[in-house]
Homo-oligomer: A and B are copies of this chain.
Amino acid sequence: MPVHAYYNPQNHGPYEHYALGDLLLISGQTLRDCELAVATYGQLNAAKDNAILIPTWYSGTSRIIHDVFVGSGRPIDPEKYFIIIVNQLGSGLSSSPHNTAEPQARGRFPAIAVADDVSAQERLVTEVFGVNQLALVMGGSMGAQQAYEWAVRFPARVRRLAAIAGTARTSEVNQLIAEAILHSLRSDPAFCAGDYRSASDLSAGLVQHARLMTLHGLSPAFFEQQHYRALGFNSVAAFVEGFMTPYFAPMDPNALITQLEKWRTADAGHLCNGDLPAALARITARTLVLPIQQDLYFPPAACEADARLIKGAHYQALSCPYGHLGLFAMDAQWLAQVDEALRALLDE
């Protein structure tokens, strides 16, 4: 794959590429020469029953997933488990608009669904690693959406499920949020249907994207209690300018759009013709549902509604004043509670 100023192992590694060949998408289209960028930690045991799968969330890559969740002595322990962190399709590291050849390059990259990520991941897990059942599939945000898809579609392959700050189906208001964020990028006059010359030509759109990610990614409590000060910023404007904007600025808008469309359309109910209760009733995994109380994308009520539809699910709303972006684990107290809940799940 071509070298990219942002999407490379120096910034996001280590990871390996796995070539899966053509991937049939649920849209009926085919993604050609599908590749997954995968980071693994620890060793697969002889019984092949100690694998944990963690798909990435929106705009994040395997590096931050590792940094937030994986650690020796922690529940997601590379000394006990074989941990597979898969960068989602369109993440910029796995098959994405900028690294895919014509006729599927850039603005012609096909629309991908969360279900397509899971199709690719299932082939990786079974064909490449020879694992029939995962000890745990877990994720945060869009990672949780992929984890739900796994547990619904392949119940026998998922022994445990942990959905952190994410829902099985994107709510209607969350769809509207995703539409607004999509518009911020697509409406930039330089977008040119994805054939912009350089991502930096879309800097105005990316600044608006950062504004919108700030307004729902953080929580009212984050602003009212001025938690941005703990991150080294003395105003909301300074936080947006010094943290949110530069965080997203080097990313490829086409990649963000691919992920946003997955976010907007995520629905584990698609397996049962849109009947989400029927879909969630298929889950046999021991399930942990861990929303963030202050989350504006995936509010606790929506997560609790999922949990109620899953047999034996354990539901626990954790407080984190950062809101959804608490997933970045700036709040040690929140992270300690997540670890405690994951440890209890893995010990079952």
Residue A176 contacts which of B177, B180, B215 (CB distance < 8 angstroms)? Answer: B215
A112 an interface residue at 8 Å Cβ cutoff?
no
Q: How many copies does the complex hold?
A: 2
- Residues of B within 8 Å of A34, CB to CB, are none
- Residues of B within 8 Å of A220, CB to CB, are 173, 296, 299
A224 an interface residue at 8 Å Cβ cutoff?
yes
A50 an interface residue at 8 Å Cβ cutoff?
no
- Residues of B within 8 Å of A215, CB to CB, are 173, 176-177, 180, 215-216
A172 an interface residue at 8 Å Cβ cutoff?
yes
Interface mask (A155-185 → B, CB under 8 Å = 1, otherwise 0): 0000000000000000111011101100110
A189 an interface residue at 8 Å Cβ cutoff?
yes
The segment from A204-212, A250-258, A265-273 that touches chain B is A204-212
Q: A274 vs B23: C-alpha distance in the bound complex, in angstroms?
A: 60
- Residues of B within 8 Å of A236, CB to CB, are 172-173, 175-176
- Residues of B within 8 Å of A237, CB to CB, are 172, 175-176
Chain B residue with Cβ nearest A301: B224
| A240 close to B183 (CB less than 8 A) | no
- Residues of B within 8 Å of A187, CB to CB, are 187-189, 204-205, 208
Chain B residue with Cβ nearest A191: B189
Question: A213 → chain B, closest Cβ, in Å?
Answer: 10
- Residues of B within 8 Å of A204, CB to CB, are 183, 187
Q: A238 vs B344: C-alpha distance in the bound complex, in angstroms?
A: 43
| B235 close to A208 (CB less than 8 A) | no
Residue A180 contacts which of B189, B212, B302 (CB distance < 8 angstroms)? Answer: B212
Residue A211 contacts which of B179, B296, B302 (CB distance < 8 angstroms)? Answer: B179
Among A179, A296, A299: residue with most chain B CB under 10 A: A179
Question: A261 → chain B, closest Cβ, in Å?
Answer: 16
Chain B residue with Cβ nearest A302: B224
Give the interface of A toward B (CB within 8 A): 171-173, 175-177, 179-180, 183-184, 187-189, 204-205, 207-208, 211-212, 214-216, 220, 223-224, 235-237, 240, 296, 299, 301-302
- Going nearest first, the 7 A-B pairs with the smallest beta carbon separation are A172-B236, A173-B223, A189-B189, A180-B211, A183-B208, A224-B301, A173-B236
Show 22 A/B contacts (Cβ-Cβ < 8 Å), sorted by A.
A172-B236, A173-B215, A173-B236, A175-B237, A176-B237, A177-B215, A179-B211, A180-B212, A183-B204, A183-B207, A183-B211, A184-B208, A187-B187, A187-B188, A187-B189, A187-B205, A187-B208, A189-B189, A215-B215, A215-B216, A220-B296, A224-B302
